[in-house]
Chain A
Amino acid sequence: MTYAIEAQQLVKHYTGRGGDVEAVRGVDLHVREGEVFGFLGPNGAGKSTTVRMLTTLMTITSGSARVAGVDVTADPEAARLRIGVALQEAGLDIRQSGRELVILQGRLYGLSPAQAAERANDLLKLVDLDGDADRRIKGYSGGMKRRLDLASALVHRPDVLFLDEPTTGLDPASRLTVWDELRRINDQGTTVFLTTQYLEEADQLCERLAIIDAGLIVAEGTPSELKADLRQRRGLTQEPTLDDVFLEATGRTRERAAGEVQEVHA
């Protein structure tokens, strides 16, 4: 089996103002090529830290990770060429136009000016921003910024796309648009690693998922496997939801989870 992402005993410790923090405590991941893999967890569980380690943005305390066959610690430069990243904050330069930003991103990945301009045209059409491409990003809505961030992450046709809570803060219509883009991108063969707090999103988009809590993976499988497993173990008469799976895996009750996990129905 070829994996797009392989992580072995990934650990991240750092010293914060309140002392030593064990953000990730030994995560193993095996994400297959071409799948949409969901990475769920409550706030502070270690999702973003894991993504930042896998995308070369954060050093790894111990353990190892390979993305698209490249060891991210040994050869971060090669790894960066093969991954696309859209983090929790849409990382955009608001003084530029959408087109300028995507072209600049293309140039940073080695495209010629003509190639970058052509790629920008294609991507801006893909994310339905071609009509607003020459406006400054400062005037874009939250949804438009997310879609532009997505476009700029795809400029070099990455093998693996990391999306850290790409729909957080979006209205339901914008969220559905991003879901459509993700499906389209995945149909073109790109592996997608998606962190989200929206369980419905994971259920809709992900072929397999892992749930992380307090820096450790506490459940992993397809959404239906995880639900079936819970139903069998608890002897439930009705099919549980992914919410039930999440709450059981993280040891939370609905009351405790209020405010930590939100759900949006399509």
Chain B
Amino acid sequence: MNKYVVLIQRSIREALRTPEALFPTIFIPLFFLVVNVGQAAEIFPSTSTPFLAGQNYAAFQLPSALLLAASFGTAALYLVEDIEGGYFDKLRAAPIPRTAIVFGRLAAEALKSAAIAIVMVLIALPFGIRIASGPLGFVLLILLTATWAVVFSGFMQLIALKTRSAAATNSAGLIFFPLLFLTPNFVPRPLLTRPMEIAATYNPVTYIMEGMRSLVLHDLEWPAIGRGFAVVAGAGALMVLFSVRSIRRYD
């Protein structure tokens, strides 16, 4: 267990020593939040829009911003640096479980994303957004964001291990944009056009977004929350499994 902790500590130290990499992960999602709300808030006034549950449109958009903040996958870019610089081989030559190499980075990514999500929610509070599901809901919201970060970073790590290329890993991160936009990003699913609704229904990110949104707008709605956590648990298990297999087969 100590070896896992040591590698998590190392990844956290790495993140803290590159604050320039942290800045965009907060700034860009907040930028999209402001722009999206600025464009659509007038169309959806809180007084006459039932799906806002009495809050403003920014509350509806907050989950998208949190998901975007958790989808930078910087852990994978650090991994490519390790591969290119030779430190990855140093770790592989050490008597440590292959899972420790994967989890060390992913756990640090989860902690980093949780911290960023807390900051973003705190920034949002003065603008009238509240977490309707209360303190437990707030914790679950942060947890869901952090576990999604693990899933997405796991996917990016997999690309990093397969391609060993910073350019390919960076490009793979762009897959998040179709995943994010084929969701009920601007309105709930029933209000989407039929083709978009079908696409959103097959997109697993939809269920994470709906889980997060239910935590912001409503009291604890366990079916929606459960679906969100089920998606991250399933996808997370697959990503970790494939990443560990990839390290074991790494030549």
Contact = CB atoms under 8 A, between A and B. Distances in A.
A87 B13 contact: no
Contacts of A14: 251
B244 to A, nearest CB: 15
**Could you say which of A57, A89, A93 has the most chain B C-beta atoms within 10 Å of its C-beta?**
A93
A45 interface: no
Interface stretch (B22-30, B38-46, B84-92, B185-193): B84-92
What secondary structure prevails in chain A residues at the interface with B? loop
A108 B94 contact: yes
**Could you say which of B17, B89, B91, B94 has the most chain A C-beta atoms within 10 Å of its C-beta?**
B94
Nearest to A90: B86
A57 B93 contact: yes
Interface string A66-107: 000000000001101101010111111111100010001101
Interface string B82-105: 100111111111111000000000
Given A107-B2, A107-B3, A89 B85 contact: yes
Interface residues of A, number: 30
Contact of A77 (B6, B85, B95): B95
A80 B3 CA distance: 15
A211 to B, nearest CB: 25
A104 B87 contact: no
Given A93-B82, A109-B95, A87 B89 contact: yes
Interface residues of B, number: 23
B14 interface: yes
B6 A93 contact: no
Nearest to B96: A108
A191 interface: no
B1 to A, nearest CB: 12
B2 A85 contact: no
Contacts of A94: 85
A93 B93 contact: no
B48 interface: no
A105 B94 contact: yes
Given A95-B13, A96-B13, A109 B94 contact: yes
B47 interface: no
B245 interface: no
A257 to B, nearest CB: 27
B162 interface: no
A197 interface: no
B90 A91 contact: yes
Contact of A104 (B6, B18, B89): B6
B95 A55 contact: no
Given A56-B92, A57-B251, A95-B17, 13 more contacts: A14-B251, A57-B89, A59-B251, A83-B93, A87-B89, A90-B86, A91-B85, A91-B87, A91-B88, A92-B86, A100-B13, A107-B3, A108-B6
Interface of B: 2-3, 6-7, 10, 13-14, 17-18, 82, 85-96, 251
30 contacts: A14-B251, A55-B93, A57-B89, A58-B251, A59-B251, A77-B95, A80-B95, A87-B89, A89-B85, A90-B86, A91-B85, A91-B89, A91-B90, A92-B87, A92-B90, A93-B10, A95-B13, A95-B18, A96-B10, A96-B14, A105-B94, A107-B2, A107-B3, A107-B6, A108-B6, A108-B91, A108-B94, A108-B96, A109-B94, A152-B90
